[in-house]
Structure 1
Amino acid sequence: MSKSSLSARYQQIALDIAQRIVNKEFSIGEKIHGRSVLASMYNVSPETIRKAVALLQDMDVLQVNQGSGIVINSIDKAYNFIQRFKYLDSVSSLKHDLEKLIEQKKQIDEELEKTLNSIIEYSDKLKNLSPYNPVEVEVSEKCPYIGSSISEMKFWQNTGGTVVALRKGDNLIVSPGPYAVLEEGDVIVVVGGNDILKDVEKFINGKDSDLDSD
């Protein structure tokens, strides 16, 4: 029997019968085995065969006549049936793969956010140990770069810092990329040298960091 990723056994049997019709193992108008014989041949229950035959009958591949049995109706319809289910099976498989990828991406994003939040949470404890702890700077209404992307404002060239995340309200965008656009109220998460907070505050909001006042 031809292999298929379709899970329903009766669909696989229907496809196999259709393939045998296309291969001209059966002729138009020929009677094929009764349901009990087909059930024994495919090692399934008569109910499974009934569903397979009904599926083929709905597509006009077979004709079931009371008293005269199962009759082959059309090779063309059998071919169309096979193509239809190949298409549906392919679409179903692609949809399944897409759902898996989306779920994997969601899990990766959650892990990235969790890790970044942990880094930010412990940044105060690490700031005396590492010159590359992350800092957060909120974009004020005075920022001259509102509506500009990170690339357009030449962020790294002007501050020496790297934007690792961007908070927009309750959403945390990890690794926003050069085309992320700043809006008032956004919080930029940056890593850089010892003076990164002061440099970013001055560049973004035109003021020195409060840490520089002592």
Structure 2
Amino acid sequence: MAGIKENTLSRYQQIAIDIANRIVNQEYPIGAKIHARSTVANTYQVSAETARKAIKLLADLHIVEAKQGSGFYVSSLNNAVNFVDQFKNVKTLKDLKHDIHQTMKHQLQEYKHLSEMMNQFLDQTQRFNTVDPLMPFQLELAAGCKHLGKSIGELKLWQNTTATIVAVRHNGQMHISPGPYAVLEAGDIIYYVGNETSPRRVRNYFAMASE
């Protein structure tokens, strides 16, 4: 049956729809005689009672009419079209509802997946910060930076930036734990540890003197 989900209808409705479709397709033109109930029952492999209910439904909708002692005849193409369209519209609404549910289900799955990835990202970030909090940052001091010519002790870097210098590369030589008397010069690279705000504060602290 074109356009109809059979499992949404009773058997006699399915038969009525199929006959109506045949009328719409001109297999049964206006005035054509519909087979007797026994023939309908045999054609669709149903009981005589089911066949009777199917033909009665078509008669109630004025798609066919009974002639005393003669049987049923096709009486209205328009009513057959309306009957078929009615169930097509029901199918369309059911399909739309199904599609909406499927889309919502898919979106919920995507949201769950995104939430899991976000939790994993936050967990990995926390693990990184927890496992390796002493991973040093670095900054090259360009000519014109503030505080050049000062010793590490004079800088009071921790008080101003929450960072601690752990090494200085000077003239290509790495000096680990340079101590408070090491003087910073242009071209030096400082290595320091601190929290997540330290890099911004250190950059601002050593910003160009003209900025």
What TM-score do the two structures reach when normalised by structure 1?
Answer: 0.50
Deviation at residue 66 of structure 1 after TM alignment:
7.8
Give the 3 Å change call, closer, same or farther, for CA 105–47 of structure 1 in structure 2: farther
3-state SS of 1:25 partner: coil
Q: Which residue of 2 aligns with 1:24?
A: 26
Q: Which residue of 1 aligns with 2:116?
A: 114
Which amino acid counterpart does residue 35 of structure 1 have in structure 2?
R
Give the 3 Å change call, closer, same or farther, for CA 27–105 of structure 1 in structure 2: same
* Percent of matched pairs sharing the same residue: 38
Deviation at residue 96 of structure 1 after TM alignment:
1.2
- Distance, in Å, in 2 between the alignment partners of 1:12 and 1:101 is 30
- Unpaired stretches in structure 1, ≥5 consecutive residues: 132-193, 203-214
3-state SS of 1:4 partner: coil
- Distance, in Å, in 2 between the alignment partners of 1:48 and 1:130 is 78
Mapping of 1:114-133 within 5 angstroms?
Answer: 114-127=116-129
C-alpha contact (below 8 Å) 2:65/2:75 kept by paired residues: yes
Q: Which residue of 1 aligns with 2:4?
A: 4
Give the 3 Å change call, closer, same or farther, for CA 60–125 of structure 1 in structure 2: same
3-state SS of 2:27 partner: coil
Mapping of 1:80-99 within 5 angstroms?
Answer: 80-99=82-101
Q: Which residue of 2 aligns with 1:174?
A: none
Deviation at residue 20 of structure 1 after TM alignment:
1.9
3-state SS of 1:70 partner: strand
Q: Does 1:74 align with 2:76?
A: yes
Q: Which residue of 2 aligns with 1:146?
A: none
3-state SS of 1:127 partner: helix
Q: Which residue of 2 aligns with 1:184?
A: none
Give the 3 Å change call, closer, same or farther, for CA 59–126 of structure 1 in structure 2: farther
- Distance, in Å, in 1 between the alignment partners of 2:110 and 2:68 is 59
3-state SS of 1:91 partner: helix
- Distance, in Å, in 1 between the alignment partners of 2:107 and 2:38 is 49
- Aligned-residue Cα RMSD (Å) equals 3.6
Deviation at residue 65 of structure 1 after TM alignment:
6.9
Q: Which residue of 2 aligns with 1:158?
A: none
What TM-score do the two structures reach when normalised by structure 2?
Answer: 0.50
C-alpha contact (below 8 Å) 2:63/2:76 kept by paired residues: yes
- Unpaired stretches in structure 2, ≥5 consecutive residues: 134-194, 202-211
Choose 1 or 2 for highest CA Rg: 2
Deviation at residue 3 of structure 1 after TM alignment:
5.8
- Distance, in Å, in 2 between the alignment partners of 1:53 and 1:197 is 85
- Distance, in Å, in 1 between the alignment partners of 2:49 and 2:104 is 38
Which amino acid counterpart does residue 60 of structure 1 have in structure 2?
H
